[in-house]
Amino acid sequence: MKAIQIREPNVLIVTDMDMPKVDEKNNVLVKVKASGICGSDIGIYHGTNAAATYPRVIGHEITGEVVEALPSARKVKVGDRVIIDQVTACGHCWACRHNRPNVCKNLAVRGVHIDGGYREYSAVPDTDCYLLPEGLRYEDAVLIEPTTIALQACSRAQLQSDDEVLIMGVGALGARMLSIARLSGAKIIVADVVEEKLHEALNAGADHAVNLLKENLDEKVKEYTTDGYGPTVSIDCACTKDSLGTLIRVTGNAGRVITMGFSVSPTEVTNFGITSKELDIRGSRLQNRKFQEAIDLIRQGKLDLDHKISHTFHYLDAQKAFDFADTKDPSIRKIVLTFDK
């Protein structure tokens, strides 16, 4: 079978691999139908993702059809349309024993530490498969995975209806974050450098938008929050060199700052900025068994993923897709690789 592999940073190849075989551990075979390009995939390609190992078949947003299942498979059957959980955990370390397998000491993420979704077939445990809602296209269903990331971040933030939330960056992840955060009933401010993304966020339910190239964020969050208090929750979906420090500065007293970035570049923060306001700085990584929750929200009509993909490429054109992602074209929202012949 064909696969897309990052041999080393900035070297993407199409390679032939043996077909995976089902066994009692990986008891179902999934024919991949679509796999998304995430910012972390781009980081692996460019060598800036500190977690990745090489060579690696990347891709962790994976949808497909079950084409083989052993009798031990109880959760899915041949013909089922599924999305695959990207997290694999040991089950016995301290984090796993305390119900946090997403930060397992021996964590192995598909597409990061072990081969992922940019290949024609994948053998996985049936317990890692989740049934897709009827009528949802494979390429749109890719967005379930970043939705789980948003669910995890909002869970870590412990969002309440009286919170005032600042979402920094409203690209693919920020848009998913907005869709989840608004379910809490909290007031939401979004900030970005692309005017079109800000307009889309306002249309999707954000209360206020700040263009970081044209407006002063400190002034605007005071204007948009009650009594100029500042956000009570700030979520970093931009993950730039300065974004964490910026959010620490603008977040109100006793607030929570959620960070998800994987950059290893130094960023400047001060003890005073955190301690003086007694801020909680909380990391949020991957997701902790959030797939079914995301799928249930779609089935209940609370989330709409239909036709939210901005660009698709055939998987054999992956180099073109990554080159296009690097242009940072303002039309890009989410790029997906498709695997139809």
pLDDT at 62 over 90: yes
pLDDT at 341 over 80: no
Classify domain 2-143+305-338 by CATH number: 3.90.180.10
* CATH level 2 (architecture), domain 147-283: 3-Layer(aba) Sandwich (3.40)
pLDDT at 275 over 80: yes
The domain spans of the chain are: 2-143+305-338, 147-283
pLDDT tens digits for 281-321?
A: 999 999 999 999 999 999 999 999 988 999 999 999 999 99
- Residues 6 or more apart from 50 whose CB is under 8 A from it? 262, 263, 264
pLDDT at 214 over 90: yes
pLDDT tens digits for 224-256?
A: 999 999 999 999 999 999 999 999 999 999 999
Calpha distance 129→124 (Å, rounded):
8
- Residues 6 or more apart from 318 whose CB is under 8 A from it? 4, 12, 14, 118, 337
pLDDT score for 201: 97
pLDDT score for 136: 97
pLDDT tens digits for 129-159?
A: 999 999 999 999 999 999 999 999 999 999 9
Q: Give me the helix-helix angle, 172-181 and 144-157, nearest 10°.
A: 60
pLDDT score for 109: 97
